[in-house]
Structure formats: C-alpha cells, structure tokens
Amino acid sequence: MQEVVTELTTPLSDQDKTKRTIPQSAGPDRFGPDTAENLQKLFREKGMTDYLPIVLPTEDRVEAMLEATSHKPDEIVGKISPTPGVYEYWSYTVRQVAVNAVMAGADPKYFPVILAIAAADKESLSSSDNSFAEAVVINGPIRDEIGLNYGVGALGPFSHANATIGRAYTLLSLNAGNCGKVGETYMGVIGNPANYANIVIAENEKESPWQPFSVQHGFKPDESVVSIFEGWGVISAKNSKFAVWSKDMNFAQELKNIFNDQDQLFGGVAVLSPAVADYVKDEGYDTVEKLTDWLYQSPGEEKPHFFSPAQINILVTGSSNNLYWDYGGMRYVKSVSVDKWR
Amino acid sequence: MATVLRSAVLNPEGFRTIKAAGGEVSGNGFFSSLAPRLDTLNGKTVYLVDTGFGGSGRFLDQSQS
C-alpha cells in the first residue's frame, strides 16, 4: 500500500509532464536496394516478421498482388488496434495489405480473402496477457477457387492457401496494426502457437449436413465470406473427460457436457468432422439453430450456462475417417464479404 | 556471393489513426501530460477497484490491514 501512496504523491518526471507529438509516419516507404540476406535481417531486426523467413516485398511482387483486386492501392481498407480502447488504431491501405500478403508468401489469387480479413478491423495479436488466438472461417466458392483445404488435416499446415492466408493475417496485425510488440503492445503470459498462422477453417460445405456458417449469418450460398472468431483456441475433444467413446455415442450430450464445463467469456465453438455432424443431425438436430438452442438450454434445465444461444457456434470441416472433433472457447466477431474485395 | 536485389522492398507498416472531433483522421498523435500529483493524500479518498484479475482480492485484503 505504501507503494501506491508513493506513486500518487511523487512529483511527475519531466518526461511524464511533457506534452508529446508522435509523428504519423511509421517509417520510410521502402528499404534498400540491398542484398536479400541483409533485407531479411533488417525486417527481422525491426520486428516486422514472425521470425520465419519472409518473401521480400519487392515492387514487382507487390504490383502482382495489387492486380488481384479492383480496388485502388491507396484505398484505406481498415484499422486495427492491439486492444481497442487501450491502444490507438493503425490504418492501412490496399497496398500495405498487399506488402504483408507478399511477405507471407501468398499467391495473388488469395488477395481478396486477405483484404476481407483486413477489412474486419480485428487484430490477430491481442495485447492481452491472456494469449488469445484468432480463427478465420471461410465459406463459399472461393474455397475451391483458391484450393483451400477442408478435407484431411483441414486445420493443419497442408495447404498453401490456408497457410499463407493465415500467416498474412498475423503479419498484417504485426506491421499494419502495431500489434505484437512484446512488452509494449503484446503481453501474452504464455503466448499462443496459433498466432503463427491463426486457425484457418474452410468449412466442408459439401459434406456438412447443415447450412454453411456464412448462410446462417445472412449471406447467400454463392457468396464468398470470411468470419472472424477470437478466444483461447481449439483442441481435440478427446482432451475432455466428457468425450468418452461408448457403444451408443451421444455427441450432442458430449457437446453440452463440455460446453457447460467451459469458461463463459468466449462461449463455445465446436469444429465437427462431417461424420460427427451427421451423427448429431441424426440425433434430431436437422438445423444448427435447433442444436445451439438445445445446447444453450435443454427442456427442464434450470439455468443456462452461457449468456445466450449466440455464444455457441458449430462449424464443420475435415475428413470423416474417424469420429474426432475439436472444441474451444471462441466467440464469433464478424463476417466480411470476400467478393467485395475482388 | 550475396545477390543484390534489383528493386527496393516496400515497408509493410500501417499508419496511426488519430481520434479527432467528428471522426478519426490520420495525422500526428498528440499526447497530454499525466495528471499532476498531489503533495499528500491526507484528507483525500483513494478508491481501489477490484477488477477481478487473479490476486486482486488478496491485494485489497492487504490494503485493508
């Protein structure tokens, strides 16, 4: 307590009294020319990478990326803050998103997806000491157009599109949103391995028994959409004492048991394989809404665990070679049309 | 021998967005001084808020003792 009193009564230092102006410019427009090795080192030392090698954003590579959208290079796409309300926002143009997309190794045909993510105004690297993770759900024809993986290993590093789109989101947050500056705009106690390339979830719409997530939220089936989630991340349901294989599987009850055991901050998200989703549908839930309503409060259940059914989200991806599924505490933030950024 | 790139590389950083009356504009940020400190807390009331983070309850218990 004495420290509190001391801090409140000790005169301010000259620095604390100073009214300061912080320049708008983040730095020069470009670096070099120099050797590739020196430029890689420069970007790394400036904290502009995820400490993996980047594709150097040369003018011709950035130009090729910019050709993949009808939007003008100087158009403002959006703004990101490491934590809105705590840190100021940084804004970014189509060109600056393109620079980060090149650095991530993205193919220009992925660029409308990356622009849509950037337009969501949502950081992928929160300053919170909670070490949050971010997920990007992708729906619509763009999934097949650019080769997103929604089969075996859908959430793993097995597709150029999934990997580089997710990585671009982190680099964008780091560079264009001023996030991830350890000790200044990043304070995650443990850190989160999902931050390298985020959790990219292209839904397996073809094999899902339910409407795509984007359609559940008002988009048309032929629209391509990204939807952002934030929270702790996802892990296999086999981590939970409630996911027990038995002769008569009851996946809906498993889901309910697991969700009711979770923290309420972010609600619950389940990432089901198509086979598990089919089982759940056959248990009587022919729409996701019926399922989430029941998961929120079943008949006779006195008090719901979560605050509303909207805190529960169900996604379908992956293959059906076994009955595995993931769960986590992640909340839906917003959806953005990819088509508007073509 | 290291290869010298023919082209420069572009800066990936965004730019600060400053809140201003009527909306947000891009420009130089202006930060005020911290609030002046008091010479003494005698006769003043200091409010400590339990934000619910781990250990904050113990801190308040210690403050009361």
β-pair partners for A258:
none
pLDDT digits (tens, 9 = 90+) for A122-156: 999 999 999 999 999 999 999 999 999 999 999 99
Kindly state the percentage of chain A with pLDDT values over 90: 86
Rounded Cα–Cα distance for residues A258 and A267 (Å):
11
Nearest to B12 among A17, A39, A176 (CB): A176
Average pLDDT estimate for A213-234: 98
Average pLDDT estimate for A302-318: 96
| pLDDT score at B30 | 54
| Residue A199 scores a pLDDT above 60 | yes
| pLDDT score at B3 | 67
Residue B29, φ and ψ in degrees, nearest 5: -85, 145
| Residue A324 scores a pLDDT above 60 | yes
Rounded to the nearest integer, the mean pLDDT of chain A is: 94
Average pLDDT estimate for A175-195: 95
pLDDT digits (tens, 9 = 90+) for A6-19: 888 888 888 777 76
Give the ipTM of the model, two decimals please: 0.85
Kindly report which listed range (A27-36, A213-222, A267-276, B3-12) carries the lowest average pLDDT score: B3-12
Residue entry with tokens 């939807």: A227
Smallest CA–CA distance, residue B60 to chain A, in Å, is 9
Judge: B11–A21 Cβ closer than 8 Å, yes or no. Answer: no
pTM for the predicted model, two decimal places = 0.89
| pLDDT score at B2 | 64
Smallest CA–CA distance, residue B20 to chain A, in Å, is 12
Nearest to B34 among A12, A89, A177 (CB): A12
A30 — contact with chain B (CB < 8 Å)?
yes
DSSP category for residue A268: E
| pLDDT score at A252 | 94
* pLDDT confidence tier of residue A21, bands split at 50, 70 and 90: low
* pLDDT confidence tier of residue B21, bands split at 50, 70 and 90: very low
| pLDDT score at A26 | 63
| pLDDT score at A132 | 97
Rounded Cα–Cα distance for residues A289 and A295 (Å):
10
Tokens of A296: 């929120």
Average pLDDT estimate for A268-275: 98
* pLDDT confidence tier of residue A203, bands split at 50, 70 and 90: very high
Rounded Cα–Cα distance for residues A214 and A225 (Å):
7
The total of other beta-carbon atoms located within 10 Å of residue A117's CB is: 31
Q: Is the dihedral of CA A80, A70, A143, A159 positive or negative?
A: negative
Kindly state the percentage of chain B with pLDDT values over 90: 11
Kindly report which listed range (A81-85, A113-117, A277-281, A333-337) carries the lowest average pLDDT score: A81-85
Tell which residue, B57, B36, B5, B1, has the closest CA to residue A59: B5
| Residue B65 scores a pLDDT above 90 | no
A130 — contact with chain B (CB < 8 Å)?
no
| pLDDT score at B20 | 46
